[in-house]
């Protein structure tokens, strides 16, 4: 399990910038961070957000075999920007259970998940947040195809 805690007190957190800011312009103009240049959700699955607007992000490796658990605490602070959480919500699912401790006895002690990714954000003592919460995830197409085939098989009339 990977645990990370971000604590901010008596401060302001703003978005950074993935793209070049150029040499002219000002805040909110010229593709600057926090100009909210996203175009909304699109029919082809586009998220419609601008990476320049993200202030805090937690992004799991899609092949990670451990839980990514991130906690963000803001106390008397301001968060100006989006929060992005990207996960496949645990790479491995074990249908017969899992040994979450991965010790020498190999005893099954879970219902199949060996940990689940999550992000908790808490605003304390008058903290403010201006921005969006964005959660993205990867889909296991093989598992989804199997589940769809199984569901169809279960709906077939019995002979």
Tens digits of residue pLDDT in 44-94: 555 556 777 888 998 887 777 677 889 999 999 999 888 988 887 655 666
The partner residues of 137 in beta bridges, in order of sequence, read 87
Mean pLDDT of the chain: 72
Separation CA 117–CA 59 (nearest Å):
10
Structure tokens at 125: 């003592």
Mean pLDDT of all residues in 31-53: 57
- Domain enclosing residue 40, as ranges: 2-155
Separation CA 58–CA 2 (nearest Å):
11
* Three-state DSSP class for residue 122: strand
pTM of structure:
0.64
The count of domains in the chain is 1
Edge-to-edge order in the sheet of strand 78-80: 12-14, 78-80, 128-130
pLDDT at 29 (0 to 100): 47
Q: Which of residues 122 and 17 earns the better pLDDT score?
A: 122
pLDDT at 131 (0 to 100): 86
Q: Which residues, other chains included, contact 127 with Cβ-Cβ below 8 Å and sequence gap of 6+?
A: 74, 75, 76, 77, 78, 79
Mean pLDDT of all residues in 114-142: 81
Element (H, E) at 129: strand 128-130
Determine how β-strand 133-137 pairs with β-strand 82-87. Answer: parallel
Residue that has been written with the tokens 């926090």 in this structure: 34
- Could you tell me how many helices (H) and strands (E) the chain has, helices first? 1, 9
């Amino acid at each position: 399990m990977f645990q990370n805690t971000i604590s901010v007190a008596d401060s302001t957190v703003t978005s950074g910038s993935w793209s070049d800011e150029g040499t002219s312009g000002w805040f909110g103009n010229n593709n600057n961070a926090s100009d909210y240049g996203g175009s909304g959700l699109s029919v082809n699955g586009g998220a419609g957000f601008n990476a320049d607007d993200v202030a805090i992000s937690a992004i799991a490796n899609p092949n990670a075999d451990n839980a990514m658990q991130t906690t963000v605490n803001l106390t008397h602070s301001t968060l100006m920007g989006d929060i992005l959480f990207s996960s496949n919500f645990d790479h491995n699912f074990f249908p017969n259970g899992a040994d979450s401790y991965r010790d020498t006895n190999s005893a099954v002690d879970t219902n199949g998940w060996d940990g689940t990714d999550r992000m908790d954000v808490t605003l304390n003592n008058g903290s403010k947040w201006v921005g969006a919460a964005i959660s993205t995830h990867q889909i296991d197409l093989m598992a989804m195809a199997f589940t769809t085939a199984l569901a169809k098989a279960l709906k077939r009339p019995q002979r």
